[in-house]
Amino acid sequence: VNFHFVINQGNGAKGLSEMRLKALPKQYIHPLEERIDEAKVLPQASIAVNDMSFGLSAYEKKRYSKEPSPSNNVRFVTSFNTQVEKALEWKDFLSQTNLNFCPICLNPELTIGVGRHSDVSTLTVLLQDSIGGFYVRGNDGESWIDVHPIDGSLLINIGDALQILSNGRYKSVEHCVVASGSKNSISVPIFINPRPQDTICPLPEVLASGEKPIYKPVLYSDYVKHVFRKAHDGKKTVGFAKMSKFLTVVANCFD
């Protein structure tokens, strides 16, 4: 991959897709353990259901790329964190509300559109298009569930902040998005977050019965910074807020 073409010039994965390459660039090829293994996709699995063109020019993408963006609210990014990733994700996105764009991929089986992760939010409201490719981790921690899009529906995900606030009663959802070899895909996640200046920790109401806190108080902006310094890594990021064994012992001594 020409880093200057993809990142500095702001062409992103869409620019590569439109070049009609004969092979997927090696920087986008993910190791097998990071791709969706069809053998681990649960057959006929379902989730609870309740009734209820990415038109930027290359100039505009470059203008709104992370560093020189004229706005604090709008960013254009390709992949997730190109500075630390071992393999790039096959996507471009605008952040505010996020607009995720995964262009047609020559070898979708070799890469991933959005790497496996959980959101930093309290809740995430996701609008899928009809293409699909959204997978959530099964309760066994190994399998995957293919969340087929339902026309006119919104997908609600629990994020890390709610896991911390609930002291682990509600688990944030590990998920990923696969690339498509036939169609461009767009999804729109809306994140419901604490304020940056808020401290997140298990709520007093949750601990009222004498339950021990699993998580320490963390400034929400510090948690978000920690997540965005790293590549997507499943649910390892929530460990940033976990109470250390030493602090747990000390807390017990003062009960």
Residue 39 domain flag: yes
β 123-127/185-192 pair status:
antiparallel
Q: Reduce the DSSP state of residue 249 to 3 states and report it.
A: helix
Q: For residue 72, name the pLDDT band (cuts at 50, 70, 90).
A: low
- Exposed e or buried b for every residue in 103-117, given b needs 16+ CB within 10 A? bbbbebebbbbbbbb
Question: pLDDT of 56-69, one tens digit each?
Answer: 677 677 776 655 44
What is the DSSP-derived secondary structure letter of residue 8? I
Is there a domain that residue 252 lies in? no
- Whole-number percent of the chain with pLDDT over 90: 63
Task: Count the Cβ atoms, other than its own, within 10 Å of residue 35.
Answer: 19
Q: What is the CATH number of the domain that holds 196?
A: 2.60.120.330
pLDDT surpasses 70 at 227: yes
116 found inside a domain: yes
Residue 170 lies in a domain: yes
Number of domains in the chain: 1
The residues, any chain, with a CB within 8 Å of residue 81's CB and separated by 6 or more, are 228, 229, 230, 231
Residue 12 lies in a domain: no
Does residue 81 sit within a domain?
yes
The answer to whether 28 and 118 have CB atoms below 8 angstroms apart is no
Exposed/middle/buried for residue 228 (C-beta within 10 Å: 0-12, 13-18, 19+): exposed
Domain that holds residue 85: 31-241
pLDDT in tens, 96-110: 878 899 999 999 999
Evaluate whether residue 3 is within a structural domain. Answer: no
Query: For residue 233, is it within any domain?
Result: yes
CA dihedral of 170, 211, 213, 199, whole degrees rounded to 10:
70
Per-residue confidence band for 44, with pLDDT thresholds at 50, 70 and 90: low
Q: What is the pLDDT of residue 51?
A: 58
pLDDT digits (tens, 9 = 90+) for 8-36: 888 899 999 998 888 999 999 999 989 98
Does residue 119 sit in helix, strand or coil? coil
